[in-house]
Amino acid sequence: MRYVLGLQIMVQLQCEALFKEFKVTPLICGLMSPIWLRFVFGTGVFNDDWADKVIHDSEMQHEEEEPEDHKTRAKYREEPHNLYGQRAGIKPVLPSDLIKGTLEGKIPYISAFVEIERCLGRPSSACPISSGVMLMPQRVLMVLKLETFAASIAQFIGLELPPVNFFGIVHRYLQRLSLPSEKILPHVCRIYEWAMPLDLWLSLSEKHFKPPIHVCVMSVLIVAIRMLYNINHSGEWEKSLSNKGNTKDNGEKGTAFSPCDRPNSGEEGSETN
């Protein structure tokens, strides 16, 4: 019970931090409760035979050793902080924002056990494990791992997640890049509606390498920018990937990205453009 309550307090503190620091809708605090309860129920931690099963499993790991006094505590692979996968927010928040906020201390995760122990009180003799030992994370998850755990929890409790907040994230990127949203955003939306990339949903698919969601969003944005501003095989990065014999004439004239009637297509025109 102390372990479950400690995790619950940690999730509550994180939801409050998302609202205060990241301007996420306060609805996240209300959504947390049913999701958390469904997750706890699914783990079976409150089943009548759960404690007996844990003790039995621990004893099976030491069959060849002499029996000694064992201190047991619950351990779960699924961690409540992965509920950040919920996308109901006013401001688009990326997993990278969550990790950055965690490392900067804006999101209570690494040191949340201090507040948890203040709320729950010091350990009793029935469970003499400190909150620091029980609830202090050993590491901060990376972006892709955070998304994978969020997808696993959603699948575990039977929660159907919506796709990523594509339009909000694209608008945020355009603002950070100081690019005109009114010109670029309609074209980005058309590409998105035409392609509907599967990588914009949290998934546990292991059939192919899945990049983080924000990488997929940015790739769609880059395609739209290249089309609108006629950027095609003329940058330093593209040149570095081309063979030396093909750098002068890569045969791209007349493609959808490079109109064949473009004036000043020679070297002087390229430098001017």
17: helix, coil or strand?
helix
Nearest to 11 by CA among 87, 79, 98: 79
Q: Where are the domains of the chain?
A: 2-62+75-156, 166-244+255-260
pLDDT at 11: 93
Mean pLDDT of the chain: 75
Q: Token pair 């994230």 is at which residue?
A: 169
pLDDT at residue 107 in the model = 92
User: Phi, psi (5° rounding) for residue 258?
Assistant: -135, 95
Q: Is residue 41 over pLDDT 80?
A: yes
Please report the pLDDT score of residue 198 as a whole number: 72
Q: Is the per-residue pLDDT at 13 higher than 60?
A: yes
User: What is d(CA 194, CA 209) in angstroms, rounded to the nearest whole number?
Assistant: 22
Q: Which residues pair with 258 in a beta bridge?
A: 255
- 2, 38, 262 from 158: Cα distances, Å: 26, 9, 55
Whole-angstrom distance, CA of residue 191 vs CA of residue 185: 10
Average pLDDT over residues 84-91: 42
Which helix (H) or strand (E) is 33 found in, with range? helix 27-43
Mean pLDDT of 156-185: 88
Could you please report the per-residue DSSP string of 138-199? S-PPPHHHHHHHHHHHHHHTT--PPPP-HHHHHHHHHHHTT--HHHHHHHHHHHHHHH--GG
CA 178, 181, 182, 188 torsion-angle sign: positive
CA distance 112 to 178: 37
Q: What is the pLDDT of residue 15?
A: 92
Cα–Cα distance measured from residue 226 to residue 183, given in angstroms and rounded to the nearest whole number: 13
- Going by pLDDT thresholds of 50, 70 and 90, the confidence category of residue 8 is very high
Reduced to 3 states (helix: H, G, I; strand: E, B; else coil), residue 126 is: coil
pLDDT tens figures, 104-137: 989 999 889 999 999 988 888 877 888 888 888 8
Q: How many residues does the chain have?
A: 273
Q: Is 228 helix (H, G, I), strand (E, B) or coil?
A: helix
Calpha distance 249→212 (Å, rounded): 35
